Structure 1
Amino acid sequence: MTAAIAGFSPDAHAHAHAGQPGTVDEAVVDELRSIGASYRRSYKSFPASSLVPVAHYQIQMVASLRPKNQPVHVRTSLLAHMAEMAALAAILLSIDLGDQEQADAYSDLGYQVAKEIQSPELCALLLGGRAFGTSYGGDPEGGLDYALAAVDAAERGASGRMRAWTHAVASEMYSSIGDEHGFRSSLEESRTVLTGPMDDERWGGISWFDESKASAYEGSDLLRLGKYEEALPSLDRAIDKLAPEMLRHRCMAHIARAEAHSGAGHVEAACLDGHAALDLVARIQHRETLRRVGDLHRKLRPSKSAAARSLGEHLIDVRSALAAAGRAA
């Protein structure tokens, strides 16, 4: 797919055939983009194993429509859809399914397409997504590099909500390297942008970003900095405000609050949030959260409490269920 990008650029032959057989109807393209937006929203609550094949199929479909041979506005819209689906596949493969090599391949494809159509919105999205995979893969400084590149790309013309999101991503990357000033200034900038006018018809991101997510970022950032008690109110607000259908985001907020409670010495509360996170992992297959619950249980196990033992049993059940689901697939 990446090698095919060179064939996406328009040329005189393409323009000469505009309106001829093989030209994609604009109504079809509009419907395709609408479907793509629904898939991106589905990130909130659909299992990763269900969405990755859908995103891959959409990429193949766009390639089959020969974007090179389309009028420029149709070609641009088709390729934007391809980049959005590549971003969706990349984030699911990286954080949910733990396949970083495949995630990077989709991310590279999406970024090259986003640059081809000169889209600040999609360049920012792909760079921000790459920040997570790089940081979680053991290179937090590299993750910050990607996050700051995403901020720069967004400032060149992305939607307001995308600009706010990239600053929140930068806040997480700063907290991952222990830079409290960078974290606080980036998150403040994110919230400042959120209070301004929004042009949401241009939003090309995955799922959604709003004040509830900003609170979740704040709590998780403080957790990374070891400020456990300070993190708890932010995570409380996030869990209270996150929409019920945002299962993936609620899952991550619960495991973050569990880790904060654990760091603060609140064993029972940590176990309760661990159970809540596992309930959601079973529904959406978020393996990064599963890994974090495993780490949490190992920290709580020395307490020898009934709550910790119960969390361990729940962890085994969810691991077994996900393994069975993987074999069935």
Structure 2
Amino acid sequence: MAERRYPPNRRLAWERLQRGWSYEEITERIRSEMSRAGETDTGLNANTVRRWEIGERWPDPRYRKHLVAILGKPASDLGLLTPDELAVRPEAETLHEFRRLWDMLTGDDNGNGWDRASVLRALVGASMLPLVAPLLSLDPDAAHADGKTVDPDSYRQIVRCQRELYWTSPPRPLYEAAYAHTQLGIGLLRAATGTSRNSLATALAESALLTARLAFFDLSQPAIAERCYDVALTATREAGDHALAAAVLGHMAFIPAFGHDPVNARPLIDAALQHTWHGVSPMIRSWLHCVASEVEARAGAAAASRRHIDLAADSITGDGTPPAWLDFYDAGRLHSFAGYAALASGDQIAAAVQLAQALTGLNNAGVKQRSVVLADLATAYSSDGDRAADYLNQAIDALRADWYGTGLDRVRTVRPVLGDSRHGAQIDERVAALTAGRAALPGS
């Protein structure tokens, strides 16, 4: 095995995986870009790309520029800049630009026609949004220390309403509203004291968690989600809320898990489980075992994945009322995780049974999960092309009704089971039409 010379480039790997591309597919895209630019093919192959991602090699400049073009992200966001190259970034000018954009968003004398949603979209497009929160946290003026009394209940009420809207609202507008509310909470918390501070910290943690879930699962923005999870975890420490801390850490584990990086996901699950020994609802422990099961399934550890499902089933029968914000997990969702674990172990019959139960048990708070379950059912029936295609078509119908970025990723992951069949071509056309239609929507 070759010695690792550089840090693993998880950012590049993540962007490739987010698009469902194999090493061969991204290699062919680079070759096409080189050919279009009139450059000579120097023997680039899939193994070279793999070595970039695991840290055995560093991409040459002639490849870096094409990766930037293909993935539509700056080199710094793709982990393509060396420490020496990053050191020349004009930090002072960057921070000035953040402040200018934030003033455009929040200033009372905004006479330039900028509205909150437009600025937030601009920040997302510029990959600046994840950095706004820590920038403000360093600004004493952000504390709003004007002597006004902070009302945690009013702030929490809006969090609750946004959480309820999660299941019925388009993700982008709700994300923008939730992100803005999280920013408001940061400022309010800096000004709060006494018991109101603890209560507000809990509400802020809930708001930041919701924002992160929207960013990661719905909008496929892991960098933004990671920063929002950091805010949520910090708020749980302030509030001393073990249940929320466990939930945040469990959600954080999905980021490396989706990147097929179980080494960094497992410690987050372990840390989350430690919090469940402090009077936390057994339902949260059950959900954490389900998350651990998915981490292991994605890592190819089928036996460990199914063991966690057994632990989840044991925990879900425990006493205790789950917190109101735990609306993303129930017994039906357990069947969904169990089906995924069965697929990882190659037991398609057991997977079909579990997933059928999951589909039947989905309520109004689980509509987004429908596309994921249907795609997994297509995998369970992969030996029956007609039936697999039917489930994938149902998954696309579900995405048209209730958009879910994770659902689209699952459809794309399952699509190869149809091969070059007419069913496969139909699914390709429908996915292309779905994504093109969403790209044309304002604020999508």
Q: TM-score range by the shorter chain?
A: 0.7 to 0.9
Q: 1:63 is matched with which residue?
A: 186
Q: Is it true that 1:260 corresponds to 2:410 in the alignment?
A: no
Distance 1:22 1:194, change over 3 A: same
RMSD: 2.5
**Pick from 237, 244, 250: which aligns with 1:122?**
244
1 CA distance for matches of 2:331 and 2:371? 17
Q: 2:149 is matched with which residue?
A: 23
Q: Which amino acid aligns with 1:46?
A: S
Larger Rg: 2
Q: 1:36 is matched with which residue?
A: 159
2 CA distance for matches of 1:180 and 1:312? 30
* Secondary structure, counterpart of 1:2 in structure 2: helix
Assess if the C-alpha contact under 8 Å between 2:368 and 2:403 holds in 1: no
Q: 1:11 is matched with which residue?
A: none
Distance 1:75 1:166, change over 3 A: same
Assess if the C-alpha contact under 8 Å between 1:98 and 1:288 holds in 2: yes
Distance 1:260 1:71, change over 3 A: same
2 CA distance for matches of 1:156 and 1:6? 32
Indicate the percent of aligned positions where both proteins have the same amino acid: 24
Q: Is it true that 1:47 corresponds to 2:170 in the alignment?
A: yes
TM-score of the superposed pair, with normalisation by structure 2:
0.64
Assess if the C-alpha contact under 8 Å between 2:335 and 2:355 holds in 1: yes
Q: Is it true that 1:287 corresponds to 2:405 in the alignment?
A: yes
Distance 1:161 1:241, change over 3 A: same
2 CA distance for matches of 1:5 and 1:225? 46
Q: 2:122 is matched with which residue?
A: none
Greater helix content: 1
Q: Which amino acid aligns with 2:236?
A: A
Q: 1:14 is matched with which residue?
A: none
Shift of 1:215: 0.3
Distance 1:178 1:107, change over 3 A: same
2 CA distance for matches of 1:117 and 1:4? 20
Q: Is it true that 1:314 corresponds to 2:434 in the alignment?
A: no
Q: 2:340 is matched with which residue?
A: 220
2 CA distance for matches of 1:324 and 1:56? 23
* Secondary structure, counterpart of 1:199 in structure 2: coil
Assess if the C-alpha contact under 8 Å between 1:95 and 1:133 holds in 2: no
Distance 1:182 1:301, change over 3 A: closer
2 CA distance for matches of 1:289 and 1:195? 28
Shift of 1:39: 2.2
1 CA distance for matches of 2:328 and 2:415? 30
TM-score of the superposed pair, with normalisation by structure 1:
0.84
Shift of 1:328: 4.8
Q: 5 Å matches for 1:132-211?
A: 132-200=254-322, 202-205=323-326, 207-211=327-331
Distance 1:316 1:86, change over 3 A: same
Shift of 1:245: 4.7
**Pick from 278, 301, 320: which aligns with 2:419?**
301
- After superposition, what is the alpha-carbon deviation per residue over 1:49-79, rounded to whole angstroms, capped at 9, x for unaligned? 12211211211222343x2443422111211
* Secondary structure, counterpart of 1:46 in structure 2: coil
Shift of 1:292: 2.8
Assess if the C-alpha contact under 8 Å between 1:168 and 1:186 holds in 2: yes
1 CA distance for matches of 2:285 and 2:427? 39
Q: 2:439 is matched with which residue?
A: 323
Q: 1:12 is matched with which residue?
A: none
2 CA distance for matches of 1:185 and 1:294? 28
Q: 2:359 is matched with which residue?
A: 239
Shift of 1:6: 7.9
- After superposition, what is the alpha-carbon deviation per residue over 1:124-163, rounded to whole angstroms, capped at 9, x for unaligned? 1111111111111231232222222222222333223222
Q: Is it true that 1:2 corresponds to 2:134 in the alignment?
A: yes
Of 125-134 and 309-318, deviating more is: 309-318
* Secondary structure, counterpart of 1:212 in structure 2: helix
Number of matched residues? Answer: 308
1 CA distance for matches of 2:236 and 2:136? 14
Assess if the C-alpha contact under 8 Å between 2:261 and 2:299 holds in 1: no
